[in-house]
């Protein structure tokens, strides 16, 4: 009977998600109602009181709002604005040079903000109009930026890696290092897609006529210096052990304020806007995480987790089959849920299964984040695609953007297969740094 209540609760959860109830509210509602049905209203009310504090009081979670604030302030204060222009000047002579510059600009932006959505929104405002003015194919221009924005999920400081590290009890610094290698490989694969696309169809990206001298290129370097100083200070201190990943968020926020003051771009308006966006985004993430924490308790109480585990165990004898099953779960969920929601919904069940199957948890975390990244541009709901659409308005259709991201999805699939076939790609840096 209890197990049946558990599965009914899970079914109710997916129904609520299907009718567009916010995932955090859906998680809390299904869990509260399920615990009420299992052991009564007082126990459900007690869980609702205890779960939020029990999860949010985790010290490592304090890095989430700090990294978010650093990213939002860098954007609003213009610390990252020179990245695309510098890449444009240096790479303009390559086939699809503006698109490649967008990928590099996105990678640099991601290395500071750690947010795929913020990365896509920023580069969508800066790079896409520039490419369209240069007569680039709308599919190439929008598809490149939508896909390149997903690099923010892999390149540290990634909010998703922080949450995974807390849930899986893994060193966040090692996850950052593993993600950096996967992110670099993704950037290279996107560049290759652009070059092949333009070589096969030159009209998609007409060669630009601008000529830049070495002096012109050198003049762009000061515009990227603030971003380099910030990223170098945060990552240098993080990976040399000067401060922990949790402290890195606070250090990065402090340095971003100093850099913005030095640039004379820090105003009360953009400071306040950065704070508000950090608070609202953090609150959204925490509500979803608290709901996932309650769902774990409900599923465990009902015994439904044992039924799910029994099914998964049947296929876990073959690790590759198990991994294919997990990949299918995330690719399907990625079509309908945001990455954080999909991860928090599934990890409480999948982490023990992956550990029992003998997967290295650092490698497994990078694979999960890569799958979530792919979900951000997968039809019909790819989150980054809608971000680009919202930034550009009526100037471009969703069909045009999805047409462009198809080629990058193929590259993502190849990168994913490489990460699975050669785990050392992910594990090399974490093992080197101990």
Mean pLDDT (whole number) for 240-261: 81
How is the chain split into domains, by residue range?
61-432
The position carrying tokens 């840096």 is 429
- Triad 51, 52, 57: Cα angle to 5°: 105
Answer whether residue 316 shows pLDDT above 60. no
Average pLDDT over residues 410-430: 91
Burial 167-186 (b: 16+ CB within 10 A, else e): bbebbbbbbbbbbbbbbebb
Q: What is the pLDDT of residue 189?
A: 94
Q: If pLDDT is split at 50, 70 and 90, which confidence band does 289 have?
A: confident
pLDDT on residue 434? 58
pLDDT score recorded for residue 35? 84
**pLDDT tens digit string along 89-139?**
777 777 888 888 888 877 777 766 666 776 777 777 777 887 888 888 889
| Tokens read off for 312 | 């998964």
Name which of 161, 86, 73 is nearest 118 in CA terms: 73
Over residues 285-305, mean pLDDT: 74
State yes or no: pLDDT of 345 exceeds 80.
Answer: no
Instruction: Compute the average pLDDT of residues 365-387.
Output: 82
| Predicted pLDDT of residue 309 | 62
Distance separating alpha carbons of residues 246 and 62, to the nearest angstrom: 7
pLDDT of residue 204: 83
Q: What percent of the chain has pLDDT over 70?
A: 90
Summarize pLDDT for 193-208 with one digit per residue, the tens: 999 998 898 888 887 6
pLDDT, the chain, mean:
80
Instruction: Give the Cα separation of 371 and 357 in Å (integer).
Output: 19
Average pLDDT for 258-281: 86
Those residues with Cβ within 8 angstroms of residue 173's Cβ, 6 or more apart along the chain or in another chain: 238, 239, 244, 245, 433
Please tell me the least confidently modeled range out of 122-126, 217-221, 308-312, 369-373: 308-312
């Amino acid at each position: 009977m209890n197990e049946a209540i558990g599965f009914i609760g899970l079914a109710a959860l997916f129904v609520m998600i299907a009718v567009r109830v916010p995932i955090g509210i859906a998680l809390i509602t299904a869990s509260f109602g399920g615990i009420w049905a299992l052991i009564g209203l007082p126990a459900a009310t007690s869980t609702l009181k205890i779960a939020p504090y029990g999860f949010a009081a985790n010290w490592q979670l304090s890095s989430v709002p700090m990294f978010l604030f650093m990213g939002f302030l860098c954007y609003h204060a213009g610390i990252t604005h020179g990245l695309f222009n510098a890449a444009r000047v240096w790479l303009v002579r390559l086939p699809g040079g503006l698109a490649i510059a967008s990928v590099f600009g996105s990678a640099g932006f991601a290395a500071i903000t750690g947010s795929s959505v913020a990365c896509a929104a920023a580069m969508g405002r800066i790079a896409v109009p520039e490419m369209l003015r240069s007569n680039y194919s709308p599919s190439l221009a929008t598809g490149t930026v939508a896909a390149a924005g997903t690099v923010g999920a892999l390149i540290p400081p990634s909010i998703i890696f922080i949450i995974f590290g807390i849930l899986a009890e893994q060193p966040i610094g090692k996850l950052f290092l593993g993600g950096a290698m996967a992110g670099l490989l993704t950037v290279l694969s996107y560049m290759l897609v652009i070059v092949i696309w333009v070589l096969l169809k030159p009209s998609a990206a007409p060669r630009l006529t601008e000529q830049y001298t070495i002096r012109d290129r050198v003049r762009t370097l000061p515009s990227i210096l603030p971003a380099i100083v910030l990223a170098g200070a945060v990552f240098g201190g993080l990976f040399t052990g000067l401060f922990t990943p949790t402290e890195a968020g606070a250090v990065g926020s402090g340095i971003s304020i100093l850099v913005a003051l030095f640039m004379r771009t820090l105003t009360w308006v953009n400071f306040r806007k950065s704070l508000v966006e950090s608070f609202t985004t953090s609150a959204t993430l925490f509500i979803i995480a608290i709901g996932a924490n309650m769902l774990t308790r409900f599923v465990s109480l009902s015994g439904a987790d044992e039924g799910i585990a029994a099914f998964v165990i049947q296929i876990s004898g073959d690790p590759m089959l198990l991994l294919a099953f997990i990949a299918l779960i995330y690719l399907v969920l990625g079509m309908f849920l945001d990455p954080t929601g999909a991860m928090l919904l599934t990890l409480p069940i999948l982490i023990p299964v992956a550990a029992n199957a003998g997967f290295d948890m650092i490698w497994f975390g990078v694979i999960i984040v890569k799958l979530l990244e792919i979900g951000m541009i997968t039809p019909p709901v790819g989150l980054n695609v809608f971000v680009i659409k919202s930034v550009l308005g009526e100037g471009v259709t969703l069909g045009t953007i999805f047409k462009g991201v198809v080629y990058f999805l193929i590259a993502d699939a190849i990168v994913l297969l490489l990460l699975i076939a050669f785990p050392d790609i992910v594990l090399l840096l974490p093992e080197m740094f101990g």
